Amino acid sequence: MCEAVQKEQRLRTREEFAAVQKEGKSWVHPLLIMRARRNEVGFTRFGVAVGKRVGNAVARNRVKRWLREVVRVIPNQGSWDVVIVAREGAAEADFHQVREAIVELLARARLTKRAVREAGGD
């Protein structure tokens, strides 16, 4: 059975998401928007947001699964709160395009180790 992202490594409350939205810095990709801010918990936590503009419930849930899987396998460094927001084109993209978008955003934000390209295959 595959390992899920641990509960402690997820942003879960409205307040946690709002803090990242208010205080975080953002990076944009045609498929995704990423906002990040430093935290005091000692490890990186991720949150995922996929709005109705992305598509129907099936498409939104598929994109959420993809996003959670990518952040699960990517090695990260530091202590950050990161929110990844899917944009409209994410539902038409495939898993590999979404993965590359996250890798690119994390690299631009300098939130990952250099070995991030090897994470997740290909």
In 3D space, the residue among 43, 46, 52, 19 whose CA is nearest the CA of residue 34 turns out to be 46
Q: Does residue 74 or residue 96 have the better pLDDT?
A: 96
Whether 38 and 72 have beta carbons less than 8 Å apart is answered as: no
State the Cα–Cα distance between residues 84 and 63, nearest whole angstrom: 11
Domain ranges (residues) in the chain: 7-113
State the Cα–Cα distance between residues 120 and 100, nearest whole angstrom: 10
Burial zone of 31 (CB within 10 Å; 0-12 exposed, 13-18 middle, 19+ buried): buried
Q: Spelled out in words, what is the top-level CATH class assigned to the domain 7-113?
A: alpha beta
The model's pTM is: 0.84
pLDDT digits (tens, 9 = 90+) for 21-63: 999 999 999 999 999 999 998 889 999 999 999 999 999 999 9
- pLDDT-wise least confident of 52-56, 67-71, 72-76: 72-76
Check residue 111 and give its pLDDT.
86
